Amino acid sequence: MTEVLAECVNATRRFGSFTAVDQVSMKIEAGEIVGLLGANGAGKTTLIRMLLGLLPVSEGEVRLFGRPPSRQTRHEIGYVPQGLGIYADLTVAENLQFSRGVYGGPRQDYDAPAALRPFASAVVRDLPLGLQRRAAFAEALAHRPKLLILDEPTSGMDPLARARLWETVQRTTDEGAAVLITTHYMEESQECGRLIVMAQGQVVAAGSAAEIVGQARVIVVQSDSWVSAFRALDAAGLPVALVGTTLRVPQASRADVANALAGLPCRLTEAPATLEERFFELVRAREPAR
């Protein structure tokens, strides 16, 4: 039976009259990569802080390794917040040594990633943002945690650095740990075995990327006058996106698109939605009416 490392049961967090996380239930099991997706303000970071025990629940329950979050359970977690969480006035090596000492991890057998070794004696604040993020990620792994929580860890990284980080994430899960990761890069979400989509503090979809997209379709508009077609669709309030010189319209019927185009010379077809298009559809469905 697979070990459940983290679990929320109807977890809710309120700040006064504002509900940031609303009745969220989920599980994270050993060896899996779970992607947490949502627009800014969806409740992702608040949910992570609840899992870490940094914020108490207003209702419901949060468990780490089968018990409530505590100082002891945090020793089994590696965490990279959006603000990196490393000491800018220490060197990379000093940050790693400090993390191992605080969390009780091995002091001698952890080897920093090869890309960081030339910068071991460099003060963190003097490094480019991409290297600072690599250092924060290495620090989160230094005590060999069972659960790795990463809040937008690849923001500001170049494509090669992002690819290397994902290779490390995969190796971490191959060794039995679990990873919960938030990202705004939809292509990165394909690396996750399971996705949880949040909007307005609630879980609005969960499953693999294919399961979340399901049978969703979009209307594809092809026209020599694509600029005019784009303006007409936008004026009609339809969510249109430009891909090359082709327009894609999710959340709309062929009739709605044809009416908005009002006789412009266009060819309309249907195509499967992408994960990004399905994501925006789910998020828009929860937005307050204007």
**All domains of the chain, ordered by start, with CATH?**
4-210 (3.40.50.300), 217-272 (3.30.70.100)
Helix spans in 60-158 (H)? 71-74, 92-103, 129-141
290 residues of the chain, pLDDT tens digit each: 678 999 999 999 999 999 999 999 999 999 999 999 998 889 999 999 999 889 999 999 999 999 998 888 888 898 988 877 888 899 988 888 887 777 765 544 455 667 788 888 899 999 888 788 888 888 888 888 899 999 888 877 788 888 888 888 898 899 889 999 998 888 888 889 999 999 999 999 999 999 999 999 999 999 988 999 999 999 999 989 999 889 999 888 999 999 999 889 999 999 999 999 999 888 887 776 54
The alpha carbon dihedral of 234, 242, 278, 154 has a sign of negative
Q: Model's pTM, two decimal places?
A: 0.86
List, in order, residues 6 or more apart from 141 with CB less than 8 Å away. Answer: 78, 110, 148, 168, 172
* The token pair that represents 236 in the structure block: 């009609």
d(CA 38, CA 31): 23
Number of neighbouring beta carbons within 10 Å of residue 124: 21
Q: Which helix (H) or strand (E) holds 283?
A: helix 275-286
